[in-house]
Each structure stands twice: as structure tokens, then as C-alpha cells.
Amino acid sequence: MNDGLRDFRPPVSGAGLGLRRDFLRDLDRQPAADLPDFLEIAPENWMHLGGRYARDLRAISERHPLLCHGLSLSIGGQAPLDADFLQRLRAFLDEHGVRAYSEHLSYTGDHGHLYDLLPLPLTEAAVRHVADRVSRVQDALGRRLILENVSTYALPATDMSEADFVRAVLERADCELLLDINNVYVNSINHGFDAETYLDSLPGERIRYLHIAGHYVEAEDLRIDTHGDDVCDPVWALLDSAYRRFGVRPTLLERDFNIPPLPELLLEVTRIRQAQTRATRHD
């Protein structure tokens, strides 16, 4: 593999926000001190756009550090990787100076997208399969892939814990981790494991940045990862815990549904900054 892929430095710093077209123009109206330190987009939602949206994205990428968080790579799927998509994706990442590209440690269908993030079996065979595909994606994109731990509600097979599976994939594939704090919490409720022990099992040196989000309480023992509500107190507490273990890492707020006005979202971005400041003072 190209030695240039071996750079484990964080791609950005501070507190970020997932960019929605709904408030794209509103960013220009916010006080500079309130703006996110970086933004993140799903490339599939932007790669095909022209006209005003393409011009707006160009302007945004020239003013703000930009990350991409993919939806359709299906890194754990059985269907062949889409070489044409990877070629177009690489051109898009290069065109906009995207700092890093992440995807979900899951699959999205077989010879077609099911528009959902489906769970992988937690097995050695799945580790080998994903690692091989990650290697090919990294070669095609010329950059290191960052994989996110996903929320799940049922598992097809389990020969190891989720945390051990994530670690095994990262180490065998020699890729990086996008640690989603909300997904750790959601899965700890759904599958009955200890979230703190999960964090202890992760290779901190491979964590490039973090996600935090809200979820829906379906039942006492079931949480649904909706990205449609404010971040709850236990997830904020788990973020503090992650900072204590791994040090302050770039952290992004996701909000995909029930989206409030931008100033309200920026209050949660500010709360991320406050957590980062507290953690830095305690170091």
C-alpha cells in the first residue's frame, strides 16, 4: 500500500456539523464565532448536482474544512465494488479538497441499494472480507478509508463482540475509525453490553474523529438511531468519557430529521466545544 496512506493525524479539529442544503445559505448569516470548525456531507447527495448547488458547495469548500461521509459504498456487501462510482468519488473528493472520507461498517444491499445500513456478521470471515474490500477502496481513492461503527437492532451471527469485530477490521484492513458515540450508546441498550467497556476495547490511535447525535426511545431496551432529536445526557456523558480515554478528537453533530433552525443546532455545536475545553483543562 502507498506509504502516503499511513498518516494518522486528525483531518480537522474542533467541533463540526453535518451540512444540510436547508441551511446552506444561512451559514453566511451567522457570527464567525458561532460557525462550526468543519462541515460534513454525504457525497452521494452532491456529486450529481450542478448549477447553484454546485456553486454553493464550491464556495463552502473554499471557506470551511470539508469531510465526506458516504452512504452507498456497501463495504461489507457481496456485490462487486462499483469501480465507476469510486472513480467519480475520487474526482469529487479531489475537486473540493475534502479532508477525509468515511463510510459505514455495514452493507447496503446485494446488486442494488436497500437504502438502509444492514448489520454484518461478527465473524472472522467477515473481517477478512471487509479488510480485502477496504484495501481495494483505499487503492482506488488514493486515501485512507475511515469506517464508522453502526447502530444495529439484530445480528446475523456473532463469533465475537462488536468491539472486537471493529478492532479486528481496523487492524487487518489498516484503516481508521470514525467513532460514533451515539451508536455505541444505542447498541449498548439494544444488545445489553457496557458502553464504557466497549470504549476500552477500541484502538484509540486509529480514531480520526467522532460523531454525536440524538436518537428515539422506542422502549426501555430499544433505541432507534434517528438523528432526529437533541443529544441526550447519557450520550454527552459518554462523549466526556471518550475524551478522557482518547484525548480530545474532532467531533461532529449529526442531525438529519426534525431539523431545527441553524442557530439551535449551533448551540449543540457549542456544547461540543465546551466538552472539549473541559477535557483539555483536565489533561
CATH number for the domain that contains residue 82:
3.20.20.150
Let me know: does 144 contact 138? Beta carbons within 8 Å. Answer: yes
Reported as a single tens digit per residue, the pLDDT across 139-157 is: 999 999 999 999 999 888 8
DSSP 108: -
What is the tens place of the pLDDT at every residue in 6-33?
455 688 999 999 998 878 778 888 888 8
Global pTM reads 0.94
pLDDT of residue 2 exceeding 50? no
Residue 82: count of CB within 10 angstroms of its CB: 14
The count of domains in the chain is 1
* CB neighbours of residue 87 within 10 Å: 12
Q: Give the pLDDT score at 115.
A: 52
Cα distance between residue 105 and residue 130, in whole Å: 8
User: What's the pLDDT score for residue 50?
Assistant: 85
User: Within a 10 A sphere around the Cβ of 154, how many other Cβ atoms?
Assistant: 7
State the residue range of the domain holding 27: 3-282
Residue from 282, 280, 200 nearest 238 by CA: 200
Nearest-5° angle of CA 70, CA 75, CA 76? 135
